[in-house]
Amino acid sequence: MDEFMQAAIDEAKKGLEEGGIPIGSVLMKDGKIIGRGHNRRVQHDDPLAHAEIDCIRNAGRIGKYQGTTIYSTLMPCYLCAGAIVQFGIKTVIAGESKTFDGAAEFMKEHGVEVIDLDIDECKNIMEEFIHQKPDIWYEDIGK
């Protein structure tokens, strides 16, 4: 596993430690992390505070997103995929899509390369969370 996905997993664990949903994300450009985030929907009482949105916010105004890659421990949902497409992020690397299949096809249809690494650690942390807090999880994905 590379350092960028490990950083996303570390963000997911921070979210869980804060009482939130364990999804983490980092934005990489030129071999460096320029933004980090995790799902803060519960912590901030904000339905839009998904990991990828938090990550992009924390990167700040970077101008053009050419050459960036976003890493997420979970396949991005349509909300996050919309932001990825809107800002022209051309590569998404997801830790897994078993617990939530997300919007991979939507992103691909809009020219985004989507790579699913199918990492057991990412699946395990989400499966455990969904088992322990199904109401919070289903609220997060709009079900």
**Which residue type does 87 have?**
F
**Residue from 3, 11, 18, 52 carrying the catalytic annotation:** 52
Catalytic residue flag (residue 52): yes
- For 43-71, b/e burial (b = at least 16 CB within 10 A) is eeeeeebbbbbbbbebbeeeeebeebbbb
Spatial CA neighbour of 4 closest among 65, 91, 93: 93
What tokens does 90 get?
């051309």
Please state whether beta strands 91-94 and 68-72 pair in parallel, antiparallel, or not at all (unpaired).
parallel
What tokens does 11 get?
């963000």
- Strands of the sheet containing 32-38, edge to edge, are 32-38, 24-29, 68-72, 91-94, 113-116
The whole-angstrom separation of Cα 73 and Cα 16 is 13
Which residues does the annotation mark as catalytic? 52
